[in-house]
Structure 1
Amino acid sequence: MNKKRRNLVRSAAFAPILLGAHSLFASPLIKPLAPSRLQYSINAYSFNSLLRSGEMTFFDMMEFAATLGLNAVDLTGYYFSGYPEIPDDKTLFQLKKKALQLGLNISWTGVRNNFVNPDKTSRASDIELIKNWLQVSSKLGASIMRIFAGNGKHEGYSREEVKEWMVSDFKACARYAEETGVMAGMQHHNDFLYEADEIIDILKRVDSDWFGLILDIGSLRKGDPYKEIQKLAHYANYWFIKELVYVDGIAEPVDMKKIAKILNDVNYTGYISFESLTDGDPRQIVTSMFNDFRTAYEKL
């Protein structure tokens, strides 16, 4: 059979398949994909005292998340034994296996750093810490790792000077993030960056696809937090939903309807993580937060 004839036969053979595919995708009976791709997670800090005392393990936390119907867990670095030293592969892979068994993702990891510190040697040490834990995050399959701006005194240096070296340090972290395939996500933490505009300014100055924002709704404590959250929503790569927001610095229960509307308005499609900071049983608090948010979001 010559080449031309072979091509004609192949075209005829695939024609019904191609026509079928076309009619399938054109069919008005096919429902469009769901408008929302929100995924739900829980942050380990919700169980801070339980994890530190040994009353709870990451495995227990995963089982709680799966039972509640969440999609993922956030595993904070300093709850690993030996932190800041990195865990061995066996420990990491056991966590991955457990997550797989429960149908969960390990979406997030986090470390503690301080880029406000004027001591360049100390900041370099923190960059090395972040570099090492980005590798840990990659092994766990996490998509994003939380880092901080930092806090503390910077006597003799202006805020702008601090921001200049902070941006340089964040750029170094972003380069390591690209190498590991795990985004470095800055969580503004009511420590040095207090307002949406200056947070956005830092994001723009770092200007990297591998440096992003973890939007913490409980750490915007000047003015109207919902307006500040609205400003940041377009830049967010991950969200922390907490039970309290601060209106002109005064704590009040979060209005889940307002948060749900902001998320819906920007068509956010990633992870939101619930984090409890108040006294009480964190399981009950997180369950209530999750149910309240989901109810508000589904009514939109």
Structure 2
Amino acid sequence: MDKKRRDFLRSLTLTPILLGSYSLFASPLGKPIAASRLQYSVNAFSFNTLLNSGEMTFFDMMEFASTLGLNAVDLTGYYFSGYPNIPDDKTLFQLKKKALQLGLNISWTGIRNNFVNLDKASRQADIEMIKNWLQVSSKLGASIMRIFPGKGEHEGYSRTEVKNWMVSDFQECAKYAEETGVIAAMQHHNDFLYEADEVIDIFKRVDSEWFGLILDIGSLRRGDPYKEIEKLAPYANYWFIKELVYIDGIAEPVNMKKIATILKDINYTGYISFESLSDGDPKQIVTSMFNDFRKEYEKL
């Protein structure tokens, strides 16, 4: 090796020392050097009535997202014809092509499942459905697919027992998620898991890099939702921003400044998705949420 090349390589090994906190080889556990890069999406459930009635299609939803200036769309599984049966490849690839034409990503998909169900055979059927839709998600190019803890009565079984089989079911989903390259992510959804600590407990017990968390700000309805959101924020792979939060169970308009501050403080760099559950024109509501959030975030 000639002297010039040797000196050059030696200089690279000294770079972290010279750059200090701006080292190119900084620990991945530290804060990234680059500024936070939020990406914006919209969830199909915002247009629930319109999609179910046929007044809107996924293509229309994509046009809206592109016009508004969003980066992506969430294509929820149960708005595909024939759900829970999976759509054919032609349908999926047409959506993928449309997204490309509009400069959008299809970041997310989601299905309905119930792991609170006492019937093990029914839970296993839901696992098989999740596996099928993980394949759909992979074909669409989605990085993450929403699954639920579930809901319902569990007479004869304690919450601890339900959580134990829920963890096992999630672990089976996570194993298949790794095979498809799509994260299977739990949306806590205020159906069985109500508080941040128990959501985190389930998340940690599943213990898989292919099992994620979708932070739903409207589904933390006990105590102070902003404190609960702060607890969950470090674990979240994806966020749902809604127009309402619930303080001790009482609805009030979301404080976008507080949400923006939490995201900024953890330097979150992924997707946030806007989802409207209110009556009224969903396009206007989503547009208002997007503009309000972005205004507060850009102030910080």
TM-score (normalised: structure 1) = 0.90
Is 1:63 the counterpart of 2:60? The answer is: no
User: For the residues of structure 1 that align with 2:103 and 2:81, how far apart are their CA atoms?
Assistant: 25
Aligned to 1:163: 163
Aligned to 1:140: 140
Aligned to 2:11: none
User: For the residues of structure 2 that align with 1:204 and 1:98, how far apart are their CA atoms?
Assistant: 37
User: For the residues of structure 1 that align with 2:148 and 2:33, how far apart are their CA atoms?
Assistant: 36
Matching of residues 138-287 of structure 1 within 5 Å: 138-287=138-287
User: For the residues of structure 1 that align with 2:285 and 2:158, how far apart are their CA atoms?
Assistant: 40
Who wins on radius of gyration, i.e. which is larger?
1
User: For the residues of structure 1 that align with 2:200 and 2:268, how far apart are their CA atoms?
Assistant: 18
User: For the residues of structure 1 that align with 2:245 and 2:210, how far apart are their CA atoms?
Assistant: 28
Unaligned runs of 5+ in 2: 9-14, 20-31
Unaligned runs of 5+ in 1: 1-6, 16-21, 27-31
User: For the residues of structure 2 that align with 1:129 and 1:252, how far apart are their CA atoms?
Assistant: 36
User: For the residues of structure 2 that align with 1:289 and 1:241, how far apart are their CA atoms?
Assistant: 8
CA offset at residue 34 of structure 1?
A: 5.1
TM-score (normalised: structure 2) = 0.90
- Secondary structure in structure 2 of the residue aligned to 1:49: helix
Matching of residues 55-94 of structure 1 within 5 Å: 55-94=55-94
Output one character per residue of 1:143-179: Cα deviation in whole Å (capped at 9) or x when no partner.
0000000000110000000000000000000001000
Q: State the one-letter code of the partner of 1:231.
A: K
User: For the residues of structure 2 that align with 1:36 and 1:266, how far apart are their CA atoms?
Assistant: 9
Output one character per residue of 1:235-275: Cα deviation in whole Å (capped at 9) or x when no partner.
00000000000000000000000000000001100000000
Is 1:98 the counterpart of 2:95? The answer is: no
User: For the residues of structure 1 that align with 2:34 and 2:159, how far apart are their CA atoms?
Assistant: 45
User: For the residues of structure 2 that align with 1:265 and 1:119, how far apart are their CA atoms?
Assistant: 43
Q: State the one-letter code of the partner of 2:84.
A: P
Q: State the one-letter code of the partner of 1:149.
A: P
Q: State the one-letter code of the partner of 1:256.
A: M
Matching of residues 280-299 of structure 1 within 5 Å: 280-299=280-299
User: For the residues of structure 1 that align with 2:47 and 2:176, how far apart are their CA atoms?
Assistant: 30
Q: State the one-letter code of the partner of 1:103.
A: G
Count of equivalent residues: 280
CA offset at residue 36 of structure 1?
A: 1.6
Output one character per residue of 1:265-291: Cα deviation in whole Å (capped at 9) or x when no partner.
011000000000000000000000000
Q: After TM superposition, what 4+ stretches of structure 1 lie above 3 angstroms from structure 2?
A: none
Q: State the one-letter code of the partner of 1:198.
A: E
CA offset at residue 84 of structure 1?
A: 0.3
User: For the residues of structure 1 that align with 2:218 and 2:33, how far apart are their CA atoms?
Assistant: 32
Aligned to 1:29: none
RMSD across aligned C-alpha pairs, in angstroms? Answer: 1.9
Aligned to 2:28: none
Percent of counterpart pairs with the same letter? Answer: 83
Q: State the one-letter code of the partner of 1:107.
A: S
Q: State the one-letter code of the partner of 1:289.
A: M
Aligned to 2:23: none
Matching of residues 15-30 of structure 1 within 5 Å: none
User: For the residues of structure 1 that align with 2:87 and 2:187, how far apart are their CA atoms?
Assistant: 23
User: For the residues of structure 1 that align with 2:34 and 2:279, how far apart are their CA atoms?
Assistant: 37
